[in-house]
Amino acid sequence: MLRVLPPRDAAVSPVTAAESPFHVSRLSAAYGDRPAIYDLTFTPPRGALAAVIGPNGAGKSTFLKAALGLIPKIAGETRVFGKPLSANRREAAYVPQRASVDWDFPASVLDVTMMGLQPEIGWLRWPNASHRARAMQALEAVGLAALAGRQIGQLSGGQRQRVFIARALVQDAEVYLLDEPFAGVDAATEAAIMDVFRDLARRGKTVICVHHDLATVRDYFDYVMLINVEKQAEGPVAAAFTAELVAKTYGRRALGLSSAYGA
């Protein structure tokens, strides 16, 4: 059974685009002739634990990738604390889905973690003792310091996910964007990852997760955006994660499901 974490002390308050740590404005992207996301605007507050939820094929992963400039977009822009993403990119750390990673790559857990420091270290330069210490600190935060020398492909699925979270943590960014961070991990790993996210939020960092499990939204997050190609709702969980809005996002057949999950 998943451990229910205590609620945040502070309520999530609305913010302006300039105040938001990761403001996405009127973002649209397509795959060929098929629109993947259309005219999405997203304005989470600083320190939020934010979920991006919607049915399969709704454009959740596309939203993250297009917002970060990892795939082409048709329109829209992303600003980090009011500045264009290109001018403030180091403040946004990204963790992709595990399925998109080549796990046969001959790198150790410590090597993969230090990849998060590549923009700082630079190409064709070796990390120094300070870089290694920071990477070990990040691995300690996710409970994997003892496995620093192990080849990444030898880890379990949950351990691999925690390594990639450590790679993001070592950047010491202000915003962390994660694509399905709980997919395929066991309950203990999920609880450990959530502890890391809670600690980030307590320190004023913003965590944005593509998330699929409606049952844990209220326990894990305080802010949410519901999408199905277009945005269906956005705001604090209490206001935006309701049975009616979930049903609107997933279709009327989801009404009973969302009610059972407490939406």
Burial class (CB in 10 A: 0-12, 13-18, 19+), 87: exposed
The predicted pLDDT at position 129 comes to 87
Give me the amino acid identity at 60.
K
Mean pLDDT for the chain overall: 87
pLDDT value at 46 more than 50: yes
Higher pLDDT, 246 or 4: 246
Q: Give 99's pLDDT tier (boundaries 50, 70, 90).
A: low
Q: Give 165's pLDDT tier (boundaries 50, 70, 90).
A: very high
Q: Give the range among 51-65, 118-132, 231-245 with minimum mean pLDDT.
A: 118-132
pLDDT tens track for 55-70: 999 999 999 999 999 9
Higher pLDDT, 12 or 52: 52
- Residue 233, phi then psi, degrees to nearest 5: -165, 155
pLDDT value at 101 more than 50: yes
Higher pLDDT, 52 or 119: 52
pLDDT value at 10 more than 50: no
The predicted pLDDT at position 105 comes to 72
Q: Are strands 92-95 and 206-210 parallel, antiparallel or unpaired?
A: unpaired
pLDDT value at 136 more than 90: yes
Distance CA 52, CA 226 (A): 6
pLDDT value at 2 more than 60: no
Distance CA 249, CA 230 (A): 9
| 128-155: average pLDDT | 91
Q: Give 205's pLDDT tier (boundaries 50, 70, 90).
A: very high
Higher pLDDT, 5 or 236: 236
Is the Cβ–Cβ distance between 181 and 165 less than 8 Å? yes
Nearest to 241, CA basis, from 250, 74, 201: 250
Angle at alpha carbon of residue 193, lines to 188 and 196, rounded to 5°: 130
The predicted pLDDT at position 103 comes to 64
Query: Edge-to-edge, what's the strand order for the sheet holding 23-31?
Result: 34-42, 23-31, 75-80, 83-84
The predicted pLDDT at position 106 comes to 77
Q: Give the range among 102-111, 121-130, 178-187 with minimum mean pLDDT.
A: 121-130
Q: Give 261's pLDDT tier (boundaries 50, 70, 90).
A: low
pLDDT value at 157 more than 80: yes
Of the chain, the percentage scoring pLDDT greater than 90 comes to 67
Nearest to 186, CA basis, from 166, 160, 214, 167: 160
Give me the amino acid identity at 146.
A
| 135-155: average pLDDT | 92
CA 69 to chain centre: 15
Locate 9 and state its tokens: 């002390």
